[in-house]
Chain A
C-alpha cells in the first residue's frame, strides 16, 4: 500500500460549518482514512502544522493570528485549498468591512445597553489584534484550489479530495459549485 497523504485542516474566521459539512461525507470517511492521515486539524487537536500534502482552510482572515496560521499552512502544505464562502470572499465576518473596527469594539464591549458595569474593550496581550478589514485568504497567500459554498456540500469535499488523491485537477460539476 502506498504511503498515506497528510492532510491538515483549520478554521480561521469561520464558523466550523465547513468542517461539519466535511464530516457529512459520512461513512466515506472510513475510506478516506485508509488513504490520508490528518495532521493539524480540529479532528486531531494537533496544534501546529507539519509538512503536509493537502491543507484545507476554512474562514477568512480577521486578525493577526489568522495571518500567522494561514502562512504556517502555506509554508507546510504542498496544495492549499480555500474552503467555503468566508475563505473565498471574506463571507459573513466581512460584513463589518465598511465599518471602523474601533467603533465596532467600542459599541460591542463598552457603550451598548445591557453590558455589565465597568465593561471595557478586552485588552489581554494574548488576544490577537483584529485587522481593520476581513480578507479572503487568497489576498494573503497563494491558493491552489477553491471549494465554494456556505458550506460546500459534502459531495464537493469528496470530489475535491478524491480528485487530489488520484492526482487529478479537481473539477466540480453543476450542483457542487455553489455560493450559498
Chain B
C-alpha cells in the first residue's frame, strides 16, 4: 500500500486515502470537525451541515466531501464557526430544548456542540411547537420535542437492527420523526431496548427509562472537557487491512 497523501486542515497536514471523506480523514488524525448527524458507524447523511468546511474556497459538508491530496480546508475559522452557530440557533429554536429538565443534559451532542462553539444565545424567535411525547413502550420513551432530524435512529434501525422502526415524514418545517407501527406508538412496534437505535440518539429523544439523572452534574460526559477534546488519532490500520 502506498504512503498516504495529505491535505491541509486549518493549515495542518492531514493524511488521506482515496475514498476517504474530509470528516473520516480528520477523525482518523484526531482532529475535531463539529458534527451532529455524522457517526463513524453509519453511512454519512449530510443533512445537519454543522460539519460545514471550506474546501479550496467551496463551502461543503465535510462528512460527504471526499478528501483530495493538496486540498486546503478551512474548519475552525471564525466564518465557519459563525455558520455553525446559526445552524445550531435554528435547531434550538425549532424544537423545545429545555435543557434544565432533560435527562440527556450533560451527555447531549447538540448541547456539547453549542458549548464548543461558545453559543450563549439562540438569536431567533422560539417556535415553541406542541409535540406530545410517546411513553407507551415499557423500556424506552420518545420525547419528540428535542428531535433534530439527524436520522441516526432511522439508519441504526434500518441498517443495523433490520427493523425500520423510525422514519422522517412530512416536508420542510412539517417534517418530523414517526414510528413504524399501525398506531404510530412505539409500544406497538417491535422496538427493543437492546436495539442499536435505542442508544444512538445524540439528543434527548430516545431515552431509556429508569436510568435518567443517574450521573451527577460534574461527572457527565461533557462536564469536564469540551466535545472537541474527545477527538483522538486512531491507530494506523494493520498491513493489508482496509482503512
The judgment on whether A and B are partners is: yes
Q: A-side interface residues toward B, CB under 8 Å?
A: 82, 85, 88-92, 94-95, 97-98, 133, 135-136, 138-139, 143, 145-148, 150, 171-172, 174-175, 177-180
User: Among the interface residues A147, A174, A177, A179, which one has the most CB atoms of the partner chain B within 10 A?
Assistant: A179
Known: A94-B128, A98-B129, A133-B128. A172 touches B99 (CB 8 A): no
Q: How many residues of B contact A (CB 8 A)?
A: 28
A15 nearest CB across to chain B (Å): 11
Q: Does B75 contact A (CB under 8 A)?
A: no
Known: A177-B115, A179-B111. A138 touches B121 (CB 8 A): yes
Residues of B within 8 A of A177 (CB): 114-115, 118-120
Known: A91-B98, A180-B100. A145 touches B120 (CB 8 A): yes
Which of A89, A133, A138 touches B98 (beta carbons < 8 Å)?
Answer: A89
Cα(A82)–Cα(B115), bound, Å:
17
Q: B-side interface residues toward A, CB under 8 Å?
A: 92, 97-102, 105-106, 111, 114-116, 118-123, 125-126, 128-130, 217, 223, 225-226
Residues of B within 8 A of A85 (CB): 98-100
Cα(A137)–Cα(B185), bound, Å:
37
B213 nearest CB across to chain A (Å): 11
B120 touches A148 (CB 8 A): yes
A142 nearest CB across to chain B (Å): 12
B120 touches A147 (CB 8 A): yes
Cα(A174)–Cα(B217), bound, Å:
15
